[in-house]
A and B are shown apart, each in its own frame.
Chain A
């Protein structure tokens, strides 16, 4: 690790100096070290390492705050465990805040006081980001998005090839040569985004959503300039980068004169674009909805008609933390599954209490912590196993990635699907030309 310098310390401490509101101050001063949050953290539950107790993650940030901004911390640092922002502290911060937290927010809900632990972790990451200590792999993902417009640096040509291929698949499936995946078509009702994992690894989820749009008769388009729903700056803690990425998608929306922005199934992508980006750039954004909300609306309005009998297997649902606890969407995916599959079985616990799959917080992008990421997945594997489900649905492509790996490593023998794939599988569609 690069040595901590005076300039880096100054940059890091600016986070405490530039308080825009009382939120950070409140949460840095609230923890009473009761330790009861340990039972809610998948890192502590699987590793039994005291360092990984959420309260300790708060404390590593709060201890720096106390050292520089409280009377007791200045006069008697050992009394209140106030720490200098030095090499040892920074090393511990990187390890705990980046390497031992998925920012799932489960501990927040169960904190006896109400400390927003996840927020403190994010602010801790911001300190590290301002000091230049974001893990290289995570920073590379952010840089790829900043430099190329998508976090996997997919060239336009490759992207368009994939879209063309999926369009052919869609036409074959629907037996309608007019079925299309529109690209760069302005003036549509919906500007749809994708997780770059889709064109790169899971292209069938693109044609699945295109099939849903087709069935609903939606007017929509993708954009080659900006289709990436993710914003990994949310995980790196760099709000300037977050603003740049967030702003781009909305500029594209204006350029395309779209009616609304529909975010692909991506937990943090939804949170970053729907809730965080307007605050990064300090302005209200146009209508932004999750594709899960949109599909639920199609079903409610009768725009699409599913046939439950087409999915006979038991289906369970994994709730992405940022969509549910961080975004307030957990009814819609349940409504969809209850309409589209015969047997829907909840995991225990689920919804607001659901456990993270282990891939959140940028963990999938940080190869440095792969062993931990798979260790904490034990809990999710056990949850899935107990449902006896054969299909695990989840409205998040990052979760799909992590669950796919869990599926192999823990020999679960299940299929992992997005909600769009479940909906698409349940649709019986007459080609439009025959209607």
Chain B
């Protein structure tokens, strides 16, 4: 394994750290702007609970059994879930690497499987985006760049866990991903939560969510 050193960091680690700071600043900019703008004052007489609506929005409202986007497209939905789990795990891994924490041999093996699974599902999503006429129509360069950056990030994370020599390349790829994140569609990392809060609040206010049984 590579010897991680938090005091004497390698040049590529400094680059990654710089990219991380830029990324966090960029995402913070988006988040602060949303918080400063706040939520809509609703002058209509409230019929339900916005809090319950927001809670439902993140729970039952995302239940794949009730969402056509999920149950009509199960392979895509499952791919998406695996992909995002792998991304979150790999982000944690990035921080572990940067802070010099070694996950250990057996954990590394499991984590590499997770990262590679994410990369495979990501590749599947990329192929689908290229082949499916609907997705091809909707896609722009940003969609492909974002997906490619994440796939490379996942592959290199998996490789680094197995072949430590890949570590510098992983850090450089991570830096690129982090720098791009606040600019393109990857910023949905922030806006996803805001969207579900707005939706839950909207439906909760009108007593649409959570749905009541007839």
Tell me the A residues contacting B by CB distance below 8 Å.
19-23, 25-27, 29-40, 50-51, 53, 55-56, 59, 70-72, 78-81, 108-116, 274-276, 278-279, 281-285, 287-288, 324-328, 330-331, 334-335, 351-353
Query: Smallest CB–CB gap between A357 and chain B, Å?
Result: 19
Bound Cα distance A23, B47 (Å): 20
CA A139 to CA B137, docked complex, whole Å? 32
B69 CB to closest chain A CB, in angstroms?
4
Q: How far is the CB of A267 from chain B (nearest CB, A)?
A: 13
Chain B neighbourhood of A274, CB < 8 A: 44
Kindly list chain A residues whose C-beta atoms are within 8 Å of the C-beta of B194.
22, 26, 30
Given contacts A29-B188, A29-B191, A111-B69, contact A22 B38 (CB under 8 A): yes
Within 8 Å CB of B35, what residues of A?
A: 22
**B88–chain A nearest beta-carbon distance, Å:** 16
Name which of B6-14, B17-25, B157-165, B200-208 contacts chain A. B200-208
Partner of B69, one of A40, A50, A281: A40
Q: Quick check: B68 and A39 within 8 Å, CB to CB?
A: yes
Q: What CA separation (Å) do A70 and B34 show in the bound complex?
A: 15
Minimal Cβ-Cβ distance residue in B for A50: B137
Query: Which chain A residues lie closer than 8 Å to B76 at the CB level?
Result: 34, 36
Q: A29 and B187: CB pair below 8 A?
A: yes
Q: Is B39 a contact partner of A113 (Cβ separation < 8 A)?
A: no
What 5 A-B pairs come out closest when comparing CB atoms?
A36-B69, A81-B140, A50-B137, A22-B37, A278-B43
Give the distance to chain A from B187, nearest Cβ to Cβ, in Å: 6
Query: A72-B184, A79-B142, A328-B48 given as contacts; is B208 within 8 A of A115 (CB)?
Result: no
Q: Do A328 and B207 contact each other (CB < 8 Å), given the known contacts A22-B38, A33-B185, A112-B67? A: yes
Interface residues of B (CB under 8 A from A): 30, 33-35, 37-45, 47-48, 57, 61, 67-70, 72-73, 76-77, 80, 132-135, 137-143, 145, 183-185, 187-188, 191-192, 194-196, 198-199, 202-203, 206-208, 211-212, 214
Question: CB-CB < 8 A to A29: which residues of B?
Answer: 30, 187-188, 191
* Cβ–Cβ contact B188 & A30, under 8 A: yes
Task: Name the distance in Å between B134's Cβ and chain A's nearest Cβ.
Answer: 5
| Bound-state Cα–Cα, A111 to B200, Å | 13
Q: Which residues of B contact A20 (CB under 8 A)?
A: 37, 40
Residues of B contacting A353 in the complex (Cβ-Cβ under 8 angstroms): 68
Among B77, B191, B194, B207, the most chain A Cβ lie within 10 Å of the Cβ of B191
Name the one of B57, B137, B191 contacting A53, with C-beta atoms under 8 angstroms. Answer: B137
Which residues on the B side are within 8 Å of A27 (C-beta)? 195, 198
Q: Which of B61, B69, B132, B198 is A26 in contact with, Cβ under 8 Å?
A: B198
- List 18 interface pairs A-B (beta carbons < 8 Å), by A numbering: A20-B37, A22-B37, A33-B143, A34-B135, A51-B137, A55-B138, A81-B142, A113-B196, A114-B195, A114-B198, A274-B44, A275-B206, A282-B43, A284-B45, A324-B208, A326-B208, A351-B214, A352-B208
Contacts of B134 in A (CB 8 A): 35, 38, 50, 53
Chain B neighbourhood of A80, CB < 8 A = 140-142, 184-185
B133 touches A50 (CB 8 A): yes
Q: Are A22 and B142 neighbours in the complex by a CB distance under 8 Å?
A: no
Q: How far is the CA of A59 from the CA of B43 in the complex (A)?
A: 29
Given contacts A53-B134, A112-B77, A114-B199, 9 further A-B contacts (CB under 8 A): A22-B39, A26-B198, A33-B185, A34-B69, A36-B76, A56-B137, A80-B141, A113-B192, A282-B43
| A334 and B138 contacting across the interface, CB-CB below 8 Å | no
The CA-CA distance from A283 to B44 in the complex, in Å, is 8
Contacts of B202 in A (CB 8 A): 116
B44 touches A19 (CB 8 A): no
Q: A29-B191, A114-B57 are in contact. Are A35 and B132 (CB under 8 A)?
A: yes
A35, B138: Cβ atoms closer than 8 Å: yes
* Least CB distance, B48 to chain A, in whole angstroms: 7
Q: What is the minimal beta-carbon distance from B39 to any residue of chain A, in angstroms?
A: 6
CA distance A134 to B39 in the complex (A): 28
- Complex: A351 Cα to B214 Cα, angstroms: 10
Minimum CB–CB distance for A281 against chain B, Å: 8
Chain B residues near A22: list those with CB within 8 A: 33-35, 37-39, 194, 198
Residues from chain A with Cβ under 8 Å of B68 in the complex: 36, 39-40, 110, 353
Minimum CB distance partner of A286 in chain B? B45
CB distance from B104 to the nearest CB of A (A): 35
Contacts of A34 in B (CB 8 A): 69, 76, 80, 135
CA distance in complex: A81, B139 (Å): 9
Chain A residue numbers with a CB within 8 Å of B188 are 29-32, 113
